[in-house]
Chains A and B, each alone.
Chain A
Amino acid sequence: MRVSQGARGRSRALPLLLLLIAVAILVWIVWRVNNRKAFVDREPPSGETTQAEFAGAQPKGAFHLEEGNVLARTVYSTAGPANSHIEVRDFKFPPHVKTHVAALPGPGVLEVYSGHGSMMRGDQSEELANGVIKPVAAGQALEFDNMGDYSLVVRLYLVEGE
């Protein structure tokens, strides 16, 4: 039986074609492995999470909790002249509520460090914003209204007479 030249060419080309396909598949697989993206959008881990434990830091200069979720701390305290006593106190007032600070034992100066709101003294309201400084008299009860979304942070420089 005579085999035509075209048929012989086709029979030679077939193994080459199969080899090319096999190599192409191999190349594709290896390339895919080598080029896999590290970002895998996995589902969050199942099972109970352990967020109940506190795992943060407790920095120095700690605050303590007062009534109405007000955080307060004394950062400096020393004897002043003429039997006076000088204190520097910080307060953090929670947002969207009115909170009170008990009447001060001496006159002082208040400086707003962060946030905005108002301070009521008697029936007088004064606006508070970052950088505002206000004198406060001894024996005066203060009410703070934090109108921001986060803590209103205030530093109070207090001079207390003996």
Chain B
Amino acid sequence: MAATSLPAAQPRALRAVRKFASQYGLIAVLLIMPVAFGIHDLRSEGDLSRLGNNLVDGLSNGSIWALVAIGYTLVYGIVELINFAHGEVFMLGSFVSAGFFGTIGLTAATGVPGLVAGLVLTLLVSMIALGVLNVMIERVAYRPLRNAPKLAPLITAVGFSFILQNVGLLWRGGSQQGIEDLIDSQKELVNFVGLSITHGDMLAIAVTIPLVLAMTAFISRSRLGKAMRATAQDPDAARLMGINVDTTISATFLLGGMLAGAAGLIYALYQTTIWYFQGFTAGLIAFTAAVMGGIGNIRGAVLGGLIIGGIQQISDNRIGSEWTPAIVFAYLVLIMVFKPSGLLGEQTREAG
């Protein structure tokens, strides 16, 4: 009920169809593309390795989206606002990472131990820098407008996203920039039943899994995590319990920004190109993922990210990457129509 403002009143048959559609329709729609292409593959090539590779790449891409989506979902869960500037935070994560490892002199020729040390350092730098940026955005764009109608913080968020885009534009220019392929991203690391897992795939998975596990553990076990959940459910009650709501909200933004910074690094190493405009599309795709999984729900954000990654890869590979955004956005619209609460259900103030 949380995503809707009024319940509907419709004839019984239509309601039953809608209920069925909302529970299984989304899953069915998500499966259309892989199934259709799978069948096509089996007919033309006789095996599913191409589809399999699509899905493997989809998982790696998807893990990037998952990290960004968690940022959206955490923030929405606690302040019920879509942080429009989050995509740009991710973009700057790529920029900061690329800038940093360029500055400390990492190149493709750097030896493995040096590379690993350098990248870990870059990861930390990126996470901290973008975490702080996200906190600043909250302070400037959201906090003064906490009691205003929802239009106001949405507009300031869009404004911030434009400002940050411009920063990216001035920093590295208007066209896509190639950066050093530090980890030899496309080189195949292992081949498993015909599925090619590259260095890039490995990196994505190796960074994302620990981060997500750490995040989930933090939220469910630490005091701050409990404070975040309490504030998300009922800020007034949380305040009465002695929780500093302002600090908790800032901490949420910090975590979201850190994850976006990490995602930015992975993206930069995986794609080896960065672009000031990458945040806009990425932001929308990641938001779609967050909504698909169920806004406010971290596991949902991860699931949504992986699914969207898969859809995106299949689309890039089979239909053409110029159509992929349209397809992902069409999925967003479908989710909103049939199941706005997402696959795993919302966890926001209203849904409780």
Chains A and B are bound partners: no
Q: List A residues at the B interface (Cβ < 8 Å).
A: none
